[in-house]
Amino acid sequence: MSQGEQWAETGVGAAVLLAAGLFLAYALSHAGGFKTGGYELIAKFGQAGSLAPGAEVKVAGVKVGTVSKISLDPKTFQAETHMQINDGVKLPDDSTAKITSDSLLGGEHIAVEPGGSMADFKPGGQFQNVQGAVDLFGLIGQVIRPQQSGAEQGASQPATQPAAKAADPYPAPAGQ
């Protein structure tokens, strides 16, 4: 292989890498990967379900931010969720944050229901009203096999000792 062919291969390789980098930059810029504006809000949920960083934060079905980080609070054992809310979106400080399912097949996002307060969240503010994820499979399991109370459990289990033979209310006539 001559030196000219090596330079040509190097040039083609560099062009391919440059094109891949441009495609990556384009994809990230249109997917919100480069957005650093906005402000952070925090919500602590008792159950985060399958919520993951990158999930959408929506108000009335419109995307207003993304989940940036989820971690376990070691003191309360709750899922501490950090959200990056877009600039220009001002949420009342008594708003409610709920984890909701995108579909029956999975995927979750945070739905924010604005409150009626005149004061807005400050950057780093924390939601006081939250509703964690609902375990759909757990609910379905409860419908299929409801839990029995202690009295019902005793009635449904077989007796361990045979019951005493009750007196026959219609005894056979003597001599038969």
> Regarding predicted confidence, which is higher, 81 or 165?
81
Nearest Cα to 133, choosing from 43, 44, 47? 47
Whether pLDDT at 159 is above 60: no
> Regarding predicted confidence, which is higher, 17 or 31?
17
What 3 state SS string does 129-159 have?
Answer: EEECCCCHHHHHHHHHCCCCCHHHHHHHCCC
Half-sphere exposure (Cβ direction) of 86: Cα atoms closer than 13 Å: 13
Amino acid, res. 173: P
Tokens of 144: 């299929």
Over the stretch 6-27, which tens digit does the pLDDT of each residue have? Answer: 888 888 888 999 898 888 877 7
Predicted pLDDT of residue 137: 73
Helices (H) and strands (E) in the chain, counts: 3, 8
Tokens of 139: 């609910």
Contact 44, 76 (CB under 8 A): yes
Over the stretch 113-134, which tens digit does the pLDDT of each residue have? Answer: 999 999 999 999 999 989 887 7
Q: What is the pTM of this model?
A: 0.60
